[in-house]
Amino acid sequence: MTPNPTDPTRLDGKLAIVTGGGSGIGEATAKVFAKAGATVVVTGRQLGPLQQVAEAVGGHAITCDVSDQAQVKEMFVQAQAITGRVDVLLNNAGGPGPIAPVAEVDMGDWVACMNINLVGAMYCLQEAARIMTAQKSGSIINMSSLMGIQGYPMRSAYVASKFAMIGITETMARELGPVGVRVNALMPGAVSGANMDRILARRAEAEGRPAAEIERENYTDVAALKRWVAPEEVGRAALYYASDLSSAITGDKMKVDCGRF
């Protein structure tokens, strides 16, 4: 079936960059974007997983450590050269950061988390803003978190970085709106996968409690739908912001959390 050019769900002819694209939400979103017709560039630090995702979606793999500004600049140069444009950025690369109370957290680990989740995100935003301003079009989707609007014990670095992403989203929406560029934020809740498995294991060790108990009390029983969020569900929410379904929406933030309110 030939795609309908007036279908607002489609991304045909658009180039989308997905940072942190080798696994989890990034991988799932790359697949959703590609199915919608986008040319997808997946970036991250490990070439192997990126190549697997790129092959699966008929896209491109470019290695990039977002905490290194020179690498970010070069990645955007390479990505833009594919079609001459950058139409969508899913600013997704990040890590969970240290899991410890504020009084005890290793500040080296704390700063390292900020350098990836916040400074690295800003490096990507700066390049995307320059390219999209020149194009006078584009959609930027910042990956915040449910922890971007509420504090959470033992996760101060991650919380601080994700709160900051909400403020940056609103700031850039005002800056770039006049040139037709939209900037929105996604706030996933607990998303199933290897990352959450690692977080549960680290919390269980730190708190001296079974991981299953922490999972029920903090992630699944507190959600209205009583379950985890699947990565592809976040990907479909990202498609909403990337596509013309949300053509009048900017400066927005959306929870994707199975009802953890």
Known catalytic residues are 158
| CB-based burial, 60-78: b 16+ in 10 Å, e otherwise | bbbbbbbbebebbeebbee
Which among 125, 135, 7 is positioned nearest to 69, based on CA atoms?
A: 125
Residues 6+ apart with CB under 8 A from 232: 28, 31, 32
CB 261 within 8 A of CB 31: no
CA distances 84 to 39, 106, 131, Å, are: 12, 43, 10
Distance CA(119)–CA(117), nearest Å, equals 6
Distance CA(126)–CA(131), nearest Å, equals 9
Distance CA(219)–CA(259), nearest Å, equals 11
Q: Please give the distance of CA 130 from its chain centroid, rounded to a whole number.
A: 20
User: Tokens for 226?
Assistant: 């009583």
Distance CA(261)–CA(258), nearest Å, equals 9
Helical residues (DSSP H) of the chain, grouped into ranges: 24-35, 47-57, 69-83, 107-114, 121-135, 156-176, 194-207, 211-215, 231-242
